[in-house]
Every structure is written in C-alpha cells, then in structure tokens.
C-alpha cells in the first residue's frame, strides 16, 4: 500500500504530466480550489466520492483512493521556521501582525480563537498597474474559550 506522502508525490506528478490546474481538479472533485489543493497535498480528508473523482481526473490507483480518505497528520512544513521564501512571508506576516490580529479579534469577539477547522479561504489575483496583487480572504468561525 502507498503511504500518504507517496500519494501526495504522485498527485503532484500527475497534475504536472496532465497539465491540470488545481482549479480544474477542484471542479472535478466538487470543492473549492483552496480546499481541494490542501486536501490533495495531504492536509484534509476526502470523502469516497471526492477521492474517486480525484482519482479519475489524475489517473490514481486504488491505493491512493484509500489513502485520500484517511484522516491526515496535519502540518506540512518540514521546519519550525519555513525556508521557502513564499511560505516564510506568511510566517513573517504572523510575526509582525499576529499580535494585532489577536488584539483586534479579542476586542471585537472576546476571549477566543478563529477556527481553522470551520474555515474557508478564497485566493484571487487582483490586477494592479503597479504589479498584480495576491488577495487572500480567510473566514473562520469564532470559538470562545469556555469557563468550567
């Protein structure tokens, strides 16, 4: 049986071989491009129907379909401080603005967190004459800390 890491490598390879965008695969799976990409990179659990759809478009073996339905070990970064420049910028963003996010969320909602489980994201390209911009909208359910 293939490991989940091997399935992820196969997915990345097949996507390139077939010249498919993540959005095209997401359309076949029936979910957003953001969720589908995270799922196929090993961070989410697919239903049997979603795994079968991904397998059809990517020509994946039965082992992969099974692995795509297993709850993954979440967290895909190999180091505590990311070394990939694009991912590092998100780390930098949290280092600079994390306390601001926390202060403003706590002021608006109270003591709690923004869920990464009940969560959605939309990533789009924003045209700008000075250079296109990346726009990421994240929406997570607020979860208050409980007293007991």
- Based on the residue annotation, tell me whether 14 is a catalytic residue of this protein: no
DSSP the chain: ---HHHHHHHHHHHHHHTT--HHHHHHHHTS-HHHHHHHHTTSSPPPHHHHHHHHHHHT--HHHHHHHTSPP-----SSSS--SHHHHHHHHHHHHHHHHHHHHHHHHH-SEEEEEEEEEEEEEEE--TTS-EEEEEEEEEEEEPPP-
The values of phi and psi at residue 138, to 5°, are -115, 140
Q: Catalytic annotation on 89?
A: yes
Point out the catalytic residue in the list 115, 125, 126, 139: 115
Q: Which of 92, 108, 133, 139 is catalytic?
A: 92
**Is residue 105 packed enough to be buried (19+ CB in 10 Å), middle (13-18) or exposed (0-12)?**
middle
Question: Catalytic residue at 32?
Answer: no
For residue 26 the two structure tokens come to 């997401």
Active-site residue, selected from the candidate residues 89, 108, 133, 139: 89
Q: Please identify every residue annotated as catalytic.
A: 89, 92, 115
């Amino acid at each position: 049986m293939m490991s989940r890491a091997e399935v992820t490598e196969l997915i990345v390879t097949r996507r390139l071989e077939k010249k498919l965008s993540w959005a095209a695969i997401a359309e076949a799976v029936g979910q957003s491009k953001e969720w589908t990409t995270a799922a196929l990179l090993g961070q989410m659990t697919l239903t049997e129907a979603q795994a079968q759809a991904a397998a059809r478009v990517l020509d994946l073996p039965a082992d992969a379909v099974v692995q795509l339905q297993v709850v993954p070990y979440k967290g895909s970064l190999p180091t505590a401080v990311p070394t990939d420049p694009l991912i590092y910028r998100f780390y930098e963003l949290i280092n600079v603005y994390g306390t601001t996010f926390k202060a403003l969320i706590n002021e608006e909602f109270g003591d709690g967190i923004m869920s990464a489980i009940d969560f959605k994201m939309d990533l789009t390209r924003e045209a700008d004459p000075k250079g296109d911009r990346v726009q990421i909208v994240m929406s997570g359910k607020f979860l208050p800390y409980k007293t007991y």
